Structure 1
Amino acid sequence: MCFADDHGLAFLAVLIKCSPNLEKIKLKINTFHMWCENGISSAILEQYSDVWFEHLNKLKIISFRNFKAEMEFVKFILARSPKLKKVSIYSAAKSDQELEMLKVLLQAPPVEIGVY
């Protein structure tokens, strides 16, 4: 998955919307692209505010760097997954960003969150 442009985020949102019985998501974020924050990511996710992940119980993200689009996506999933039990995030963020990232993630509904 590449969040370097909003095409990847839009594709992921549509793919998930078309998979209502999805139980697990394993997402590896592509770290080879230069990052640009363009502010469109939250607008894309707002288009899918009616999407609920009724069966999702595990979320695993590899190479998470705490960029805005990545965090918006995680918050989107957390807010719309009532049966989510376990979130594993393998961080590629700088150590000073990890504390900020944990603060945001721990505000989510009760779920087991591990950052590695």
Structure 2
Amino acid sequence: MKHYLFPVPVKWSADEQITVKVMGVDNCMLQLFCHARGFPWPRFQWMEDDKDIDCSNGKALIVSRCRIWNEIEEGFEYSTFYRRPGKSFHSKLITNPVDLSLFITASATGISSV
């Protein structure tokens, strides 16, 4: 007998969709963490002006939202079961805009906030 796990749509896993942690030497870095979960484990894509951010290799990065999604992909061990007509095999969420203005100091020149 096979046991199937049922897909769980992505949902918020904390009251705050995104939390910001100040870190690094002299508190010069911010770590953003998006609180969402689902099955299969969701994918996360940070966004700026509602466009995906492909990579972050610059000195500063301004993020406005996070898009979260999960999907039972073709070829997954049980994909024929999960992808049957009438079954939900994917879900998605988008966070509210991220406000980092509280973390911008007077000494940070040339950096704009979201």
TM-score range, shorter chain: under 0.3
Structure with greater strand share of residues: 2
Q: Which protein shows a greater Rg?
A: 2
Normalised to the residue count of structure 1, the TM-score between the two structures is: 0.26
Structure with greater helix share of residues: 1
Normalised to the residue count of structure 2, the TM-score between the two structures is: 0.27
